[in-house]
Each structure stands twice: as structure tokens, then as C-alpha cells.
Amino acid sequence: MLTRALIPHLGMAERCRKTARRVGNQSGQALVFVTIALVPLIGMIGLVADLGHAYYGQRALQASADAAALAGASKLPDTTQALATAKQYGTTKGAKNAPANIANVSELISTRCATSMPGCFPHNVLSVNETAPVKTSFLRLFGVDTINVHARSTACGPCGGREADIVLIFDRTLSMCMDFQGNYDSNCTKLKNARSGMLTLLGSLDPVFDRVALVTLPPASSAGAACSTPPFDVYNDQSAVWLLVSLTNKYQLPNHQLDTNSKLVSTINCLPAQSDTAYANAIEAAQAEIDKNGRAKVGHYIVFFTDGAANTGPTYYAKSSPYRQQPCHQGVTSAAAAKAKGTTVYSIGYTLSGQGGYANRCLAQSYDGPDESPSITAFQALQQIASNSNTFFNQPALASLNTIFSTVAAQITGPRLIPDTTP
């Protein structure tokens, strides 16, 4: 017989059993709701995964475009070589930076002239545009098979992006007013070509970053006689001035046009030709200016231009001195001392095969003396004067030097990525 005290507990138990039955009946409904909720959740997970994969692909594409733009711009102003080099470093099949996870890349490479920067001869900017479809995984369930990604990169070169102290050595010897056969040229065509090349280099630099000095061979008889024809025996004057313009950033106007009134530009434009050729003292004068006024932690460069072999040396040296007996070898020795101090030396040989090959002969004592011993040619001397094969240039024909000097400027200043404002 149940006591009255147990009746309330039995009622509670019954209510619990009824509640459990109701919950069991609703469990199927909850499964439906969870299943419905999982559909957009899976879609979101797929979207995140595929967008992440697309972002990774875009970053790989951008890195490739940057590399291609910089590599290509480093070859400007030679547009043909710049375009070919950029393609080698791009993302198309077989290129050095082709991503393994992206196929069917469309690539467009172009060059142009940006007048807002120095060095436009003929082009100073290279752009790389790359697009590619990135395959999806989860989003295919929703009809999205690919996501298109795009990368664009633009670099300039030369564009003065790297600080440098540069000393130009200008050969303004009498042979610069002779033609390829050694006949006198009243127009001094070679001298004009050399001026044009050096001014092209100045136009390719940026005075915010780059300073330039000027040394000549032969030297001037005095500091105020840069534009006067030096005496033929000026090399023998110990007071002669090799450094005509100290390192300066005064050579361009604010619009990047050359400042023809600046001391550097006006001196290059006025130099007359005279006398024989001596390498060593000019190279030493260039390095002395770097030692005295070169900035710390800035690239130091000598750009040495000549149209022939060294064939003389100052008589204030002993007759047995290598400056007189081995003028080409001594030039190599003087350049080696500069390179040992960290200076990068460029050498540019112009018409070295001229005058029936006579311009290539390194002579001892005088213009009509015997060949140097041991034997060496001007071509070989300039190769050894240069820091490496990339800083030696030979231009055997009476052609414009602008391309060579612009290439030198591009190597010195280096390419750099720039914002691209073109649509």
C-alpha cells in the first residue's frame, strides 16, 4: 500500500518520462537544422580555403613580376635586351620564376620613357603585367571553377636610385680629333661623341643621390685653363691640374635637364684635344678625389674613357720608371690600387683598332718609341683596368657612345621598383 508521502515523487517521475519522450521525438528535427546549417558553413570554409589559395597565387605572381621588372630594367636602355631579360625572369612556361602552382599565365612586358625621371635614352621604365586563373576546389560545388589573379610591377633603370660618387676620366688627346685611319678630323667627331656619351651619363643620374667629378688626360696647365688647349708637353709639368671639377651634384636642372651653366657640364663641353696618352696619373688623380671627398658608405666609381694605348709618361719620373717604360702596365697597376680601396672601375675603349691597329699598341717612352715589355695591347690593358668583364666596354667603330655611357649609369645606379600611375 503506497503511503501518501510517495505520491508526489511518483508524479515527478512520470513527468520526467514524458519530457524524455518529447526530447526523443525532437532529435530528428535538430539533425535537420544542423544539416541545413552545415551547408553555408562548408561554403564559407571552401570560400576561405580557395581565396587563401588565390591570395597565395597572387603573391607568387607579384613576386615574379617584381623580379622580372627589376631584371629587365637593369638592362635598360637596351630595350631589346631588357625585354628579353624580363621575360627570362617572368612567370611564363620555362622562365626562372614560373610558379609551380599556377598555369596559363598571361604576361605583357613593355618599356617607355618617363620624363619625370632622369635617364630616358630611349626608355627608362619597364612594366610587367601578369594575369592567371587559379583553380578552385570547394567553390566548384557552387559553379566557380577559377579565380583570376593579377600582378603588375614597374621598375626604372637607370633612375638614380643608388647613391654613388663617380669620377669621369675624359681622354681628350689629339687622336680624338683624328678619324679611324689616323687622318686629322677638323670636326673632332670622336671628341664630340665622347662629350655626348658623358653628358648622356650625367642625364641618367640623379643629383639627389649621385655626385660626379671630372679628370682629364692630358691635364690642364692650370685650374683656370680647362678650356684652353694645353701645351703638348703638359704631362711634364708637375703643377698641371688633372682634376678639373671636384665631386659635385650641380649638373642638372630641377626638370632633370642638364644645367649647361654648371661647371661640370660646361667643362665637358669646352675641352679641346691635345697631346699624347698617359693612363696612370689620371687614374691616380681620380682615386685621390674619392679618397679626399668621397662619402662614406656610398658606392665609389671611376669611369675611364680612352681611344687608344698609353704611349708616354711624365719626365719628372726617372727614365727607367714604369710610368715611362710601361705606361699601359702602370695604368693597370694604378687601377689595381684604386680597386683595392673598394672603388669599382669602368673602362671604355673607343676605336682601339683604329689607325691600322696603331692605337692598340702600348709604347714605351714616347709616341714613336718601342713596344712595352712585356708586351701588352690597349685592349688587354683596359680589360685589366676594369673591375670585371661587366665593367669593360669596347666600341671599335665611330658610332655613338651614348648607349654605352647610359648602360654604365644603369649599372651604377641600379634599377628600382617605382609606383606606376599609368591606367
User: Which whole-number Å values give the CA distances from 4 to 14, 15, 16, 261, in the listed order?
Assistant: 17, 18, 20, 122
At 18 the pLDDT is 54
User: Which whole-number Å values give the CA distances from 21 to 18, 28, 29, 148, in the listed order?
Assistant: 5, 13, 14, 54
User: How large is the average pLDDT for residues 276-284?
Assistant: 96
User: How large is the average pLDDT for residues 284-288?
Assistant: 98
User: How large is the average pLDDT for residues 381-407?
Assistant: 87
Q: Are 77 and 406 in contact (CB under 8 A)?
A: yes
What are the residues facing 132 on neighbouring strands?
A: 149
Which one has a higher pLDDT value, 70 or 140?
70
Q: For 136-192, how does the pLDDT look when each residue is reduced to its tens digit (9 = 90+)?
A: 877 777 788 888 888 899 998 877 678 999 999 999 999 999 988 889 999 999 999
Name the amino acid, one letter, at 137.
Answer: S
- Looking at residue 175, the DSSP 8-state letter turns out to be G
At 292 the pLDDT is 98
At 410 the pLDDT is 84
Ranges 45-54, 60-69, 71-80, 378-387: which has the least confidence: 45-54
Q: Give the three cell numbers for residue 98.
A: 614560373
At 105 the pLDDT is 83
Written in H, E and C, the secondary structure of 252-267 is: ECCCCCECCCCHHHHH
Most confident residue range from 92-96, 378-382, 413-417 = 378-382
CB within 8 A of 94, min separation 6: which ones?
none
Q: Using 50, 70 and 90 to split pLDDT, how confident is the model at 233?
A: very high
User: How large is the average pLDDT for residues 386-407?
Assistant: 85
User: Any idea what the Cα angle at residue 90 is, between residues 85 and 95, rounded to 5°?
Assistant: 85
Residue-wise DSSP of 351-406: STTTGGGGGGB-BSSSTTSPBPSS--BHHHHHHHHSSSGGGEEEE-SS---HHHHH
At 16 the pLDDT is 52
What is the residue-averaged pLDDT of the chain? 85
Q: For 403-413, how does the pLDDT look when each residue is reduced to its tens digit (9 = 90+)?
A: 899 889 888 98
Q: Using 50, 70 and 90 to split pLDDT, how confident is the model at 370?
A: confident
**DSSP 3-state of 343:** coil
User: How far apart, in whole angstroms, are the C-alpha atoms of residue 410 and residue 390?
Assistant: 12
Ranges 5-9, 25-29, 220-224, 322-326: which has the least confidence: 5-9
**DSSP 3-state of 116:** coil
**Residue 265 phi, psi (nearest 5):** -65, -45
Q: For 85-138, how does the pLDDT look when each residue is reduced to its tens digit (9 = 90+)?
A: 999 887 766 666 666 667 788 889 999 988 777 767 788 899 999 998 888 877
Which one has a higher pLDDT value, 34 or 400?
400
pLDDT at 2 over 50: no
